[in-house]
Amino acid sequence: MKLIVGLGNPGLQYQKTRHNAGFMVVDRLAQRHSGGAVPRSRFGSLTLDALIDGEKCLLVKPMGYMNRSGGPVNEALRFFKLEPSEDLLVIVDDVALPVGAVRVRAKGSAGGHNGLSDIDRALGGADYARVRVGVGAVPQFMAMADWVLSRFMKEEAEALEAGLADATAATECAIGESVEAAMNRFNRKV
């Protein structure tokens, strides 16, 4: 079993914001692999069972705010007796990548991302796979929080759509083949 966690903030006011790129990818995975199932509330999250390339997965959207993602992730991992380095994949927004770019990593640093930092803290390390979805660099003279909580601009729609499709496919590849295969196929120079 694999745990696929999309990071974001709950609530209508945060839908379609840059910080919710992880939620957007998990929603796409749910449409493709959960057969219209209704999400359940478990582990402080909305969860859905999915079958991706023959692998049983739990799709997870933590319902606390971004900087409190670690507790729900750790709780789900402990409940199912899963190893983060083998069984966890986190999908997250990344301001270091242009809109639509995707970067897959087998492990790594939080890179200043509060959601990843909280997961690292809760798990006692950063040894888990992640799919980073580019949301664009923070404009000069704009606060990081204001940027990541802003909605995408119309002129970014095409790049965003391509990035969400690639992140979904990269996640499917990581589950069906391996994280390394996903890295080779989806990591491109930007």
Angstrom CA distances, 67 to 71, 117, 118, 154, stand at 10, 8, 6, 28
Nearest CA among 184, 134, 136 for reference residue 162: 134
DSSP 61: E
Q: In angstroms, rounded to a whole number, what is the distance separating the alpha carbons of residues 68 and 19?
A: 14
Nearest CA among 110, 121, 13, 114 for reference residue 67: 114
Q: Is 113 designated active site?
A: no
Please pick, among 2, 19, 61, 132, the residue that the annotation labels catalytic.
19
Tokens at 84, concatenated: 């983060």
Nearest CA among 121, 84, 113, 97 for reference residue 5: 84
Q: In angstroms, rounded to a whole number, what is the distance separating the alpha carbons of residues 167 and 188?
A: 13
Angstrom CA distances, 4 to 51, 93, 131, stand at 11, 15, 10
Point out the residues that are catalytic: 19
